Amino acid sequence: VRLAMEAAHALAYLQSAASPPIIHRDVKSSNILINDSFNAKISDFGASRLIDIDQTQVTTVVLGTRGYLDPEYFETSLLTEKSDVYSFGVLLAELLTRQPPLSLERKPEEINLATYFLKAIKEGRLLEILDPALVSEASDEEQLFDVAKLVMDCLRAKGEYRPAMREVTA
Protein backbone atom coordinates (compact mmCIF):
# COMPACT_ATOMS: atom_id res chain seq x y z
CA VAL A 1 0.00 0.00 0.00
CA ARG A 2 2.88 2.35 0.80
CA LEU A 3 4.37 1.79 -2.66
CA ALA A 4 1.01 2.43 -4.31
CA MET A 5 0.68 5.69 -2.39
CA GLU A 6 4.18 6.74 -3.40
CA ALA A 7 3.27 6.05 -7.03
CA ALA A 8 0.05 8.05 -6.60
CA HIS A 9 2.02 10.99 -5.19
CA ALA A 10 4.40 10.85 -8.16
CA LEU A 11 1.49 10.83 -10.63
CA ALA A 12 -0.20 13.67 -8.74
CA TYR A 13 3.03 15.66 -8.99
CA LEU A 14 3.25 15.06 -12.74
CA GLN A 15 -0.34 16.20 -13.25
CA SER A 16 -0.56 19.04 -10.72
CA ALA A 17 2.90 20.44 -9.97
CA ALA A 18 4.96 19.79 -13.11
CA SER A 19 4.99 22.60 -15.62
CA PRO A 20 3.71 21.76 -18.13
CA PRO A 21 1.55 18.98 -16.67
CA ILE A 22 2.36 15.43 -17.80
CA ILE A 23 -0.06 12.59 -18.42
CA HIS A 24 1.86 9.33 -18.16
CA ARG A 25 -0.53 7.36 -20.41
CA ASP A 26 0.88 3.92 -19.49
CA VAL A 27 0.42 3.52 -15.73
CA LYS A 28 0.83 -0.18 -14.92
CA SER A 29 2.56 -2.38 -12.37
CA SER A 30 5.63 -3.00 -14.52
CA ASN A 31 6.17 0.78 -14.77
CA ILE A 32 6.39 1.17 -11.00
CA LEU A 33 9.96 0.44 -10.00
CA ILE A 34 11.42 0.10 -6.52
CA ASN A 35 14.79 1.70 -5.77
CA ASP A 36 17.49 0.53 -3.33
CA SER A 37 15.68 2.29 -0.47
CA PHE A 38 12.43 0.46 -1.34
CA ASN A 39 10.73 3.61 -2.61
CA ALA A 40 8.41 3.55 -5.61
CA LYS A 41 9.48 5.31 -8.79
CA ILE A 42 7.43 5.85 -11.94
CA SER A 43 9.22 4.69 -15.09
CA ASP A 44 8.79 4.48 -18.86
CA PHE A 45 7.70 7.89 -20.01
CA GLY A 46 7.77 6.86 -23.68
CA ALA A 47 4.00 7.23 -24.06
CA SER A 48 3.73 10.34 -21.85
CA ARG A 49 2.13 13.48 -23.12
CA LEU A 50 2.75 17.08 -22.08
CA ILE A 51 -0.45 19.09 -21.73
CA ASP A 52 -0.68 22.86 -22.03
CA ILE A 53 -1.60 24.40 -18.69
CA ASP A 54 -4.83 25.82 -20.13
CA GLN A 55 -5.93 22.44 -21.56
CA THR A 56 -7.89 19.77 -19.75
CA GLN A 57 -7.87 17.26 -22.58
CA VAL A 58 -6.12 16.54 -25.86
CA THR A 59 -7.12 14.38 -28.80
CA THR A 60 -4.37 11.91 -29.55
CA VAL A 61 -3.60 8.48 -30.90
CA VAL A 62 -4.56 5.97 -28.23
CA LEU A 63 -1.53 4.50 -26.47
CA GLY A 64 -1.32 2.37 -23.36
CA THR A 65 -1.54 -1.21 -22.21
CA ARG A 66 -4.68 -3.31 -22.61
CA GLY A 67 -6.28 -4.02 -19.28
CA TYR A 68 -5.08 -0.71 -17.84
CA LEU A 69 -6.41 1.52 -20.61
CA ASP A 70 -9.16 4.00 -19.76
CA PRO A 71 -12.21 2.87 -21.80
CA GLU A 72 -13.35 6.46 -22.29
CA TYR A 73 -9.96 7.40 -23.77
CA PHE A 74 -10.00 4.24 -25.89
CA GLU A 75 -13.43 5.10 -27.34
CA THR A 76 -12.97 8.84 -27.88
CA SER A 77 -9.18 9.38 -28.23
CA LEU A 78 -9.61 12.22 -25.71
CA LEU A 79 -6.76 11.99 -23.23
CA THR A 80 -7.20 13.62 -19.82
CA GLU A 81 -5.46 13.33 -16.46
CA LYS A 82 -8.37 11.08 -15.48
CA SER A 83 -7.04 8.48 -17.93
CA ASP A 84 -4.08 7.95 -15.60
CA VAL A 85 -6.50 7.80 -12.65
CA TYR A 86 -8.37 4.92 -14.30
CA SER A 87 -5.10 3.05 -14.93
CA PHE A 88 -4.06 3.64 -11.32
CA GLY A 89 -7.38 2.14 -10.22
CA VAL A 90 -6.59 -1.01 -12.20
CA LEU A 91 -3.13 -1.06 -10.59
CA LEU A 92 -4.71 -0.89 -7.11
CA ALA A 93 -7.17 -3.66 -8.00
CA GLU A 94 -4.22 -5.74 -9.18
CA LEU A 95 -2.42 -5.18 -5.86
CA LEU A 96 -5.51 -6.01 -3.80
CA THR A 97 -6.41 -9.19 -5.68
CA ARG A 98 -3.05 -10.40 -7.02
CA GLN A 99 -4.91 -10.88 -10.28
CA PRO A 100 -3.59 -9.76 -13.69
CA PRO A 101 -5.40 -6.93 -15.50
CA LEU A 102 -6.55 -9.37 -18.19
CA SER A 103 -7.12 -13.08 -17.61
CA LEU A 104 -8.72 -15.81 -19.68
CA GLU A 105 -8.92 -17.81 -16.43
CA ARG A 106 -11.91 -15.69 -15.39
CA LYS A 107 -15.42 -15.86 -16.87
CA PRO A 108 -15.67 -14.27 -20.34
CA GLU A 109 -17.54 -11.24 -18.99
CA GLU A 110 -14.88 -10.83 -16.27
CA ILE A 111 -11.69 -11.13 -18.35
CA ASN A 112 -10.98 -7.48 -17.58
CA LEU A 113 -9.89 -7.01 -13.94
CA ALA A 114 -11.77 -3.72 -13.63
CA THR A 115 -15.04 -5.43 -14.58
CA TYR A 116 -14.27 -8.41 -12.33
CA PHE A 117 -13.48 -6.15 -9.36
CA LEU A 118 -16.51 -3.88 -9.75
CA LYS A 119 -18.87 -6.83 -10.23
CA ALA A 120 -17.56 -8.55 -7.08
CA ILE A 121 -18.11 -5.39 -5.03
CA LYS A 122 -21.62 -4.97 -6.43
CA GLU A 123 -22.37 -8.59 -5.45
CA GLY A 124 -20.89 -8.15 -1.95
CA ARG A 125 -17.98 -10.52 -2.65
CA LEU A 126 -15.06 -8.16 -2.09
CA LEU A 127 -13.36 -10.26 0.61
CA GLU A 128 -13.66 -13.36 -1.61
CA ILE A 129 -11.60 -11.83 -4.41
CA LEU A 130 -8.95 -10.08 -2.30
CA ASP A 131 -5.54 -11.69 -1.90
CA PRO A 132 -5.90 -13.96 1.18
CA ALA A 133 -2.48 -12.86 2.48
CA LEU A 134 -3.60 -9.24 2.35
CA VAL A 135 -6.84 -10.03 4.18
CA SER A 136 -5.00 -11.94 6.92
CA GLU A 137 -2.41 -9.15 7.36
CA ALA A 138 -4.97 -6.35 7.50
CA SER A 139 -5.41 -5.02 10.99
CA ASP A 140 -8.86 -3.72 10.10
CA GLU A 141 -11.21 -4.92 7.35
CA GLU A 142 -12.52 -1.37 7.14
CA GLN A 143 -9.17 -0.31 5.62
CA LEU A 144 -9.65 -2.88 2.86
CA PHE A 145 -13.13 -1.53 2.14
CA ASP A 146 -11.75 2.04 2.08
CA VAL A 147 -9.13 1.10 -0.51
CA ALA A 148 -11.77 -0.82 -2.50
CA LYS A 149 -13.94 2.34 -2.49
CA LEU A 150 -10.99 4.30 -3.85
CA VAL A 151 -10.56 1.69 -6.60
CA MET A 152 -14.26 2.00 -7.46
CA ASP A 153 -13.93 5.79 -7.69
CA CYS A 154 -10.87 5.51 -9.94
CA LEU A 155 -12.63 3.01 -12.21
CA ARG A 156 -15.73 5.10 -12.85
CA ALA A 157 -16.75 4.83 -16.50
CA LYS A 158 -16.83 8.59 -17.05
CA GLY A 159 -13.61 10.43 -16.31
CA GLU A 160 -15.41 13.51 -15.02
CA TYR A 161 -16.61 11.45 -12.03
CA ARG A 162 -13.17 10.07 -11.14
CA PRO A 163 -11.06 11.82 -8.51
CA ALA A 164 -7.96 13.75 -9.53
CA MET A 165 -4.67 12.07 -8.57
CA ARG A 166 -4.11 14.71 -5.88
CA GLU A 167 -7.49 13.64 -4.39
CA VAL A 168 -6.40 10.00 -4.54
CA THR A 169 -3.40 10.83 -2.36
CA ALA A 170 -5.49 12.67 0.26
Catalytic residue numbers read 26
Tell me the C-alpha distance between 95 and 40, whole Å.
14
Contact between 107 and 93 under an 8 Å Cβ cutoff? The reply is no
Is the four-CA dihedral 26, 32, 39, 97 of positive or negative sign? positive
Query: Which of 47, 49, 42 is closest to 91 using CA atoms?
Result: 42
Tell me if residue 64 falls in helix, strand or coil: coil
Beta bridge partner(s), residue 59: 78
> Which residues, 6+ apart, have CB-to-CB distance to 110 below 8 Å?
116, 119
Q: DSSP per residue over 124-145, as a string?
A: T-HHHHS-HHHHHH-S-HHHHH
